Amino acid sequence: MAEPGLVRRSVGNVLVPKLDVLLEENERVALLRSEARRGLLSRPKALPPKWFYDARGSTLFEAITRLPEYYLTRREREILDARAGEIARRTRAATLIELGAGSAEKTRVLLNALAEARTLNRFVPFDVCVPAVHDTAAAIRGEYPGLDVHGVVGDFQRHVEVLPRPALAGGPRLIAFLGSTIGNLDAAERAHFFTALRRILAPGDFFLLGADLVKDKARLDAAYNDAAGVTVQFNKNVLRVLNRDLDAAFDESRFDHVAGYDPARQLVDIRLRARVSHVVPVRGLDLMVAFSAGEEMRTGDCCSNSAAPYRSPSHAARDLAARDGRAIDDGCLLAALVGVHRLVGARVQRRGRVARVGPRRGADAQRQRDLAGGVRALEAVAQARGEVAAIFGRQIGQ
């Protein structure tokens, strides 16, 4: 069921794939208005990275993934090429859900493997931009005749819990969260996301996480400052979104793109720096926003996965990694396959025995702690070794 106040609008016929719009245009603009007001009045100014992604921003990001400096997509694709068959055999997923699907270019590797395993019935691309989800769903439907393609437009920080449920006789789901998008979330947002994910995962489901790792500063800096200037356009696209949707008057030429890796915080900090002092009217918010020369507005953080929340995993997480983890190092890449059956299933491993988690007081809190510990273990296994960790869970306890 949809959450209170949420409108689910389905669009589809024999020619157009099914499309659920969980974030209607008026809701999207209202959310932008709220977050932009808060961010433009904060010190320092900041805007959530989700607002990069209108139709133009989605296209620009797809271009970024093909740039020579942007190693992450290529490395993740190589891992998927190498491990997709095993993922398909281990999960036997009937439904593949991809959060932040974009064009689903890498996802086709998983689709092919699951189709070859003859288990796949449904694909659910989930993203924030209606045109992007529609185009991806239509393309996948054309490439995979007979596959049920069910696009979902929403914000994965708000709508994870209303993702399509398993069909009555549909088999397990594989929920994929690739491209190191998890690094765009701060600690509170990650906690909220994983709590929502825990609530929807059912026994037999799987979670596949693609996460970037800490590496040389020069390489990280280059990935977000490409020679062709595509990332500059992508960063400044948020100004176009504000101009269009909030009747603002940002002048892109008055801002410089600034991005760099901060070793102390272990994240890439993406900002826009004002070249000169000026005031920007934002008529949709009834604001006059002043920028001083050199003032920076944060537009995105890309956290690497040995950052503070994951630096010291608990003893339980270490035990989990040691018991269920396996790392495959092929020279410059690492694929970490870690059992995360502790996350949400009805059974929890403790000191070599199985304890059933029932609906007693504190059970939800315990499962949330298990989930947080499991995620820390996933990333602890992969720290300091390779380019990208492609991590997926063993079958959740029956």
Residue 273 lies in a domain: no
> Exposure of 331 by Cβ count < 10 A (0-12 exposed, 13-18 middle, 19+ buried)?
exposed
**Encoding tokens for residue 225?**
């400052």
As a whole number of angstroms, the distance between CA 213 and CA 268 comes to 12
For 198, phi then psi, to 5°, come to -60, -35
Residue 100 lies in a domain: yes
Tell me, what's the pLDDT at 132? 84
Residues of the domain holding 337: 71-215+311-392
Residue 17 lies in a domain: no
- The residues near 238 (Cβ < 8 Å, ≥ 6 apart) are 47, 51, 52, 57, 272, 299
142-175 residues labelled b (16+ CB within 10 A) or e (exposed): eebeebbbbbbbbbbbbbbebbbebeeeebbbbb
Residue 200 lies in a domain: yes
pLDDT at 285 over 90: yes
283 in Cβ contact with 315 (< 8 Å): no
Torsion of CA 107, 109, 114, 115, to 10 degrees: 100
pLDDT in tens, 368-380: 444 444 444 343 3
pLDDT at 336 over 90: no
DSSP-based three-state secondary structure for 282: strand
53 in Cβ contact with 128 (< 8 Å): yes
**Mean local confidence (pLDDT), 88-110:** 89
Tell me, what's the pLDDT at 304? 59
The count of structural domains within the chain is 1
pTM for this predicted structure? 0.73
Confidence of residue 90 (pLDDT cuts 50, 70, 90): confident
Residue 386 lies in a domain: yes
Q: How far is CA 337 from the centre of its chain?
A: 19
pLDDT in tens, 39-87: 999 999 999 988 998 889 989 999 999 999 998 888 888 888 888 898 8
230 in Cβ contact with 60 (< 8 Å): yes
Q: Specify the residue for token string 């070599």.
A: 352
**Mean local confidence (pLDDT), 303-320:** 37
Tell me, what's the pLDDT at 47? 95
Q: What interhelical angle do 363-382 and 315-324 show, nearest 10?
A: 60
Residue 49 DSSP code: G
Whether the link from the prior residue into 44 is cis, omega within 30° of 0, is: yes
Tell me, what's the pLDDT at 57? 92
DSSP-based three-state secondary structure for 139: helix
Is the CA virtual torsion 144, 157, 31, 257 positive or negative?
Answer: negative
Which residues does residue 288 pair with via DSSP β-bridges, in sequence order?
281
Mean of all residue pLDDT scores within the chain: 74
**Mean local confidence (pLDDT), 349-353:** 29
**Mean local confidence (pLDDT), 170-195:** 82
For 175, phi then psi, to 5°, come to -100, 120
**Helices first, then strands: H and E counts in the chain:** 10, 17
Residue 109 lies in a domain: yes
pLDDT at 115 over 70: yes
Confidence of residue 168 (pLDDT cuts 50, 70, 90): low
Residue 298 lies in a domain: no
CA dist list (Å): 269 to 51, 132, 137, 238, 301 = 16, 26, 32, 16, 5
* CATH number of the domain bearing residue 361: 3.40.50.150
As a whole number of angstroms, the distance between CA 275 and CA 297 comes to 12
Q: Where are the beta strands (DSSP E) in the chain?
A: 9-11, 18-21, 95-99, 122-127, 148-153, 173-177, 206-212, 255-262, 267-274, 278-282, 287-291, 296-303, 325-329, 334-338, 347-350, 353-356, 388-392
As a whole number of angstroms, the distance between CA 83 and CA 337 comes to 10
167 in Cβ contact with 310 (< 8 Å): no
Q: Where are the beta strands (DSSP E) in 170-303?
A: 173-177, 206-212, 255-262, 267-274, 278-282, 287-291, 296-303
Which residue from 386, 393, 388, 385 is spatially nearest to 320, judged by alpha carbons?
A: 393
Residue 363 lies in a domain: yes
pLDDT at 93 over 50: yes
pLDDT at 317 over 70: no
